[in-house]
Structure 1
Amino acid sequence: NEVDLINFSQGYHEDLEKTYFNDGLNSLVFNRTANNCYFPATEIILSNIEKLKKSDRPFKVSFSMSGTFLDQCLMFRPDLIDLFKRLYDTGCVELLGETYYHSLASLYENRDEFETQVMMHSDKIKEIFGTRPTTFRNTELLYNNAIAREVYDMGFKAILTEGLQHVLKWRSPDYVYRAKGSDIKVLLRNYGVSDEIGYRFTHKLITADLFASWLSKITGETCNIFVDYETFGEHQWRDTGILEFLRHLPEAILKYENLIFATPGQVADVCPANDEIDVFEYSTISWADLERDSSAWLGNDAQKSAYGIIKDMETMVKQINDEKFLRIWRNLQTSDHLYFMCNKWLGDGDVHGYFSHYSSIWRAIGNLFMILHDFQKALGYKLAELNKR
């Protein structure tokens, strides 16, 4: 939300959440995306699953839904939760674990917040769907050895990340690997194949049959296709044919005897780890931008400064131990706030600009720092109040 500075002369403002976060804009964007993508794409997937459920090669998918997304579903479109429940109840869908607030908490030196958000997310999935995730997808596929080790220690059997050539060297992303320093299995996104749908669909006029023919020629044990769900009807509009592509894709794939569908958890169960993946902590990778590292969120001084301020609030926020203040702080950790502040050029800059509701990165930078300044003061007033008691 774009806000004016709050006057703290009379103490901290009582409506911080309403001041900082624009539920009106959130509702508008969420409902538009739900109508363009979430409902039609999910109904198509459900129809395909039901059509092929009794075949010897059923259609299977996985979803990664942040806690923030689920909260907005319950707030703005609870009927969407009902549709996702129907989808999960088919037995052909895996729900992945992640951070509740789609945050960068996995990069904090103190990993307590990361673990807390992952467990919060697992609890939310259990509350709504009656299951707990066993495969992990970190925010924007952020990954390094330390993250993998932490996720393994939390009980996950597999983790997804980007299949980058400089990490793989001569190896293929179409196999299962093991993380250096732990026994968690690593499933790699085949970005060449995935980005044909996510970014190049309209430029190449890709049909379901053409895409399936590409998959049939891949050598390896698994081809992990992972895209933004909003690709289907929002980023790629309905009139591009993307929803019809989704409708016809399963049957087009099943024309090839060497192809079947499997969820990430099933792949991890069936396929042994072929080799070790080594990503040092200071060489964190992701699926974002051409660099595919953390620079989409931490690439300039303003982003690094805001990230540091948010991270350093942890001690005071947890000392206050107030549910509202914790929720505000965690919503401020959502990676989008830093993503909107990115000042890259050319293709990456266009992508960042497409996703942002701000007219410029300077509006995004000024707005976030204004809110952080206000929230720091609010925390100070709240802590002073508690110390007087």
Structure 2
Amino acid sequence: MKTICLFFEVHQPFRHRKYRFFDIGNDHYYYDDYANETIMRKIAEKSYLPTNRVLLKLAKELNGNFKVAFSLSGVAMEQFELYAPEVIDSFKELTRTGCVEFLSETYSHSLASLKDKTVFEEQVRLHDQKIFELFGQKPKVFKNTEMIYSDDIGAQVCQMGYQGMLTEGARHILGWKSPNFLYVNARNPRLKVLMRNFKLSDDISFRFSNNNWSEYPLTAEKFTGWLKKLDSNEEVVNLFLSYESFGERQPKESGIFEFLERWAQLVAEDNSLKFATPSQIIKELQPVSVVSVPNPISWADEERDLTAWLGNEMQKEAFENLYELRRRMASCTDPKLIRDWNYLQISDHFYYMSTKFFSSGEAHSYYNPFESPYEAFINYMNVLSDFKIRLNAVTPENEKEQEVAALHKLLASKEQKIKKMEAELQRLQKPKTRQKKTTKKRKA
């Protein structure tokens, strides 16, 4: 029997407002609340809520034969709570069916795994804490931001206590091997590795409504037939998709919801196919071999590398400048600075600076708040400059900055005193004015 692992990534960033040079040091709020709320409400109504309704129906009707896994970024969950709490409720209702597994990832959907182990582990801890708080699950399987994976990252994830990890079944990594098997990490074979079948996943994500595609229209019967025709020795088909594929990238009018419902029913009815969560697959299947990934891969664009986020000098400069602050942030206890530190790590900020042109980039460009990568870079560096000023006031980097921070505190203290004295002066002047008016009336 062939196992289908159906997984969805759910992520939305906190987008920055247009933050000008003259805002630096004067305005410490960086976010475009209107855009964040508008976009979240739109995607929730077009994608998250209707797709969750379809999955809930399948979970109830298929008597435990339907299984699905999710990775929800921490910043997406925060925005659900702020702008679309009914999405959280619908995920909770899905969870109660027992058909859902929540995977671990970085809280901010960040690139921390490429830079600092301590920051990475803290991001993951924050994420898992949020998942347990909302859904009562402790994740056992890990999915890194944008499926980023390497031998070293996998080994660290295993040390952190996870049983398995999801990544891309990249051609240049697998060679003649198939993604339709369970593998193990090259440095620590205790970590099981599930590899995405990008061909079949992208048939749904990107090609479903493309009437120029040779296989258009894609019906549930046709797709199920493809699964059944795969080599009988292949044990698992990992269909990993962005959740916005349903209702947003592939609109409701394309028939995508009807396809999902009918296809899941066909799989559940077929004796040669079944659904399973990543944790179930790790328990049930035996790995066939080691998969060696010496350099990081991702599920982005044709190269399946990191160039969508770190492919040009602007992206690298912003990335390095951000993580130069990591040691000082370790001693920071200011909740607002910690919040902004987490939001600054969101990988989308670096994605907006990309100068590449590729098909998967088109899917994100609709929600890109900047007209050019250069504008995105300048905006981010302005925000980061203001953040550094605030951080210097709390945890100065050197003696000079300590002196500057002390002067800032002294000035702030004096400003507070001046404001209090002005308020007191105004209070004392009011009775005198009234007294003068009363005297004039008596004389009259």
TM-score per shorter chain, which class? Answer: over 0.9
Instruction: Specify which of 10, 13, 18 is matched with residue 2 of structure 1.
Output: 18
Q: What SS does the corresponding residue of 2:37 show, helix, strand or coil? A: helix
Distance 1:218 1:95 in 2: 28
User: Is residue 118 of structure 1 aligned with residue 128 of structure 2?
Assistant: no
Aligned equivalent of 2:87: 80
Aligned to 2:31: 21
- C-alpha separation in 1, matches of 2:177 and 2:339: 43
Deviation at 1:345, TM superposition (A): 2.5
Q: Residues 249 and 363 of structure 2 are in contact (CA less than 8 Å); yes or no, is this contact kept in structure 1?
A: no
Q: Equivalent residue for 2:163?
A: 157
Structure 1 residue 348: Cα displacement? 5.0
Question: 2:136 & 2:357 partners in 1: Cα distance?
Answer: 44
Q: Are 1:168 and 2:186 counterparts?
A: no
Counterpart CA distance in 2 for 1:218 and 1:94 is 26
Q: CA RMSD in A?
A: 1.7
Q: CA deviation at 1:256?
A: 3.0
Which residue of 2 is the match for residue 329 of structure 1?
341
Residues 376 and 298 (structure 1), Cα distance of their counterparts in 2 relative to 1, 3 Å cut: same
1:60-80 CA-partner distances (Å, limit 9, x unpaired) = 100110111111111111121
Matched with 2:11 is: none
Task: Specify every segment of 5 or more residues in structure 1 that has no aligned partner in the other structure, as ranges.
Answer: none
Letter in 1 for 2:136: G
- 2: CA distance, partners of 1:7 / 1:82: 38
Work out whether 1:146 is the aligned partner of 2:152: yes
Q: Equivalent residues in 2 for 1:368-379 (5 A)? A: 368-379=380-391
TM-score of the aligned structures, taking structure 1 as reference length: 0.93
Question: Which amino acid is the alignment partner of residue 289 of structure 2?
Answer: D
Partner of 1:338: 350
Within a 5 Å distance, the mapping from 1:1-389 to structure 2 comes to 1-6=17-22, 12-13=25-26, 16=28, 19-53=29-63, 58-108=65-115, 110-182=116-188, 183-203=190-210, 204-219=216-231, 220-280=234-294, 283-347=295-359, 349-383=361-395, 384=402, 385=405
Moved over 6 A (4+): 386-389
Which range is displaced more, 212-221 or 131-140? 212-221
CA contact (8 A) 1:105 1:114 kept: yes
Percent identity (aligned): 38
* Deviation of 1:375 (Å): 1.6
Q: Confirm or deny: 8 A CA contact 1:216 1:256 kept in the other structure.
A: no
Q: Which has the larger radius of gyration?
A: 2
Give CA-to-partner distance per residue, 1:116-145, whole Å, 9 cap, x none.
Answer: 111111111111111100010000000001
Q: Displacement, 1:351?
A: 4.0
The separation in 2 between residues aligned to 1:319 and 1:386, in whole angstroms, is 18
8 Å CA contact 2:301, 2:358 repeated in 1: no
CA distance in 2, matches of 1:216, 1:7: 59
Unaligned runs of 5+ in 2: 1-16, 211-215, 396-401, 411-444
| Greater strand fraction, Structure 1 or Structure 2 | 2
The answer for the alignment partner of 2:419 in structure 1 is none
Asked if the contact 2:167–2:195 (Cα under 8 Å) also holds between the matched residues in 1, the reply is: yes
Deviation at 1:90, TM superposition (A): 0.6
CA distance in 2, matches of 1:386, 1:155: 43
Q: Deviations over 1:268-327 (max 9, x none)?
A: 1111111001111xx210000111111110000000100101111112222333121111
Kindly indicate whether the alpha-carbon contact (under 8 Å) linking 1:104 and 1:335 is maintained by their aligned counterparts in 2.
Answer: yes
Per-residue Cα deviation, 1:241-264 (whole angstroms, up to 9, x for no partner):
111111211112234321000011
| Contact 1:342/1:349 (<8 A) preserved | no
Cα distance in 2 for residues equivalent to 1:277 and 1:346: 27
Task: Letter of the 1:160 partner, please give it.
Answer: L
C-alpha distance in structure 2 between counterparts of 1:49 and 1:126, whole Å: 21
